[in-house]
Chain A
Amino acid sequence: MKRRWLHRVLIALALAPLAGLALGAARGELGANPVETITHTTGAWALRLLLASLAVTPLRRLDARLAALAPLRRTLGLLAFGYALLHAATFFALDLGFALALLAEEVAERPYVTLGFAALLAMLPLALTSTRAAQRRLGRRWIALHRLVYVAAALAVAHFLWLVKKDLREPLVYAALLALLLAVRAVRARWPIGLRASS
């Protein structure tokens, strides 16, 4: 059973911050620096949704009843990519004024931009091969390709750490969450608990 309603609820929830931004922008309620608010919000949700997609597999292994969560992984990943695209577009449009030459320069010269751009690039093939058809066509290579999600998450966290001026608390929370999610997988790979019917 595909449980479409679950995906729809998730999408609705995940798009709420976007609606908040649109409404806020219309009402002039995004603070003194609305571009910063939009950039930060889209970036933060890209990262949160990406981490959430990485949490699906460890979570559903905790209990057989949570197996229904599995298909949400793709939805979460695509939502994360959507937010990442908006985040990059905001930067390109409002920080760089659509100047491609400037984009090239920033990507080449500012490590935090390089890292962010790399994270986005890492997510692109994952988004493009997210369909069941692609999964079937690629077979085992699909699994290998989708390991890029760990790279994307690490790059995104590094991007955030690099651009913060002084207070590292927020990016460090994400770093800790990512470390936890990776550790859980590493532990399981090292000490598999045995075959489970729901895996």
Chain B
Amino acid sequence: MRSIRASRLPEREVTPEALFLRRRAFLQAGAAFSASLVFGCGEDTAARAATPESAALAKLPDVIPAPEGYRTSEEPTRYADATAYNNFYELGTGKEDPAQNAHSLRVRPWTIAVEGEVAKPGVLDIETLLKAYPLEERIYRLRCVEAWSMVIPWVGIPLGDVLKRFAPTSQAKYVAFETLVDEQQMPGQRRRTLDWPYREGLRMDEALHPLAILAVGMYGRVLPGQNGAPVRLVVPWKYGFKSIKSIVRMRLAPRMPRTTWSDENPSEYGFYANVNPHVDHPRWSQRSERRIGEWSKRPTLEFNGYGEQVAGLYRGMNLRRNF
């Protein structure tokens, strides 16, 4: 068998793949930016799915309608907007990048490792999550730390119900979550915009609160890639960056885990990140928000309007210090 003639280029001359990809991304960004200077806004209009039907995503069967207290009567955000305006830096830092890059995310096979302070550690398969648990609709407000918000009809499972099956021990004081790391599937991870993997965490009582869900769908169908497919966290009383997407690991821990945005900028992003109009972001006010779909801003509510259900978790806590 004839061997393939090796390249004459010595090994040391070959650009390391990471550097090559970074340079290519830089050149592409430069070219795109220059093109945008010539052609106008510089905003690519991604092909937006106007409705859940046109998104061609699988319907979720037997979804239990949201009970009282778990659905807001406010108008849900238009599907086209909810799926084309996303902060998901793994798929690009522009708001419309995740929708454009979502196609590269492979959501099958998908597992979530459940480990740490649990009596029965294991691996949760996404198919099990979809079939072995009753799926509930939850219509929640989602408030981003950037002062915009949406109303999303999620489909999911209470996080506590899932965690209980793994039997957390008495040492389980916190839950730590991690997102997938895979540069091939998540092109945004080729740059160290954030310290991948994206990490988030909840105190145990927050994780067990009935409002906290693992969402597997929205608008009656499975999650699109840009919204954190195939499974993500939704904690509606906290800023959106706490609702970690595309989860691959849940670790029960005795101590407060590190979280990505808090690591990134501890003076701007805290662990608790409860929505609080009285505690401003260092650089902008949190007193009001823009509901996507509206032109004027509206006042922000304490705990994003879920105060009645969650304020008790923080009795006695200084929420300015523990922001």
Contact = CB atoms under 8 A, between A and B. Distances in A.
Interface of A: 16-17, 20-21, 24, 29, 31-37, 41, 44, 48, 94-95, 97, 106, 109-112, 162-163, 165-167, 169-170, 173
B43 interface: yes
Looking at chain A's contact residues, the main secondary structure is helix
B81 A32 contact: yes
B267 interface: no
Given A20-B40, A170-B33, A112 B283 contact: yes
Given A36-B290, A112-B284, A162-B283, 12 more contacts: A17-B40, A31-B45, A32-B78, A32-B84, A32-B85, A34-B295, A37-B41, A94-B295, A163-B284, A165-B146, A166-B193, A173-B33
Interface string B267-286: 00000000000000001110
A170 B264 CA distance: 19
Nearest to A112: B283
A24 B29 CA distance: 24
Contacts, number: 68
B84 A48 contact: no
Nearest to A18: B40
Interface string B52-89: 00000000000000000000000000101110110001
Given A95-B297, A112-B283, A166-B194, A29 B33 contact: no
Contacts of A170: 33
B43 A31 contact: yes
Contacts of A16: 40
Interface in B82-122: 82, 84-85, 89, 93, 95-96
A111 B40 contact: no
Given A17-B41, A20-B40, A162-B283, A169 B29 contact: yes
B294 to A, nearest CB: 9
Interface residues of B, number: 32
B95 A33 contact: yes
Interface of B: 29, 33, 37, 40-43, 45, 78, 80-82, 84-85, 89, 93, 95-96, 146, 148, 193-194, 264, 283-285, 290, 292-293, 295-297
15 contacts: A17-B41, A24-B41, A31-B43, A31-B85, A31-B95, A32-B80, A33-B85, A33-B148, A36-B290, A97-B296, A97-B297, A106-B285, A109-B285, A166-B194, A169-B29
Nearest to B261: A166
Contacts of A94: 295-297
Contact of B41 (A20, A109, A110): A20
A167 B43 contact: no
Given A33-B148, A33-B292, A162-B283, A48 B96 contact: no
Contacts of A20: 40-41
Contacts of B33: 170, 173
Given A33-B85, A48-B37, A94-B295, A110 B283 contact: yes
A44 B29 CA distance: 16
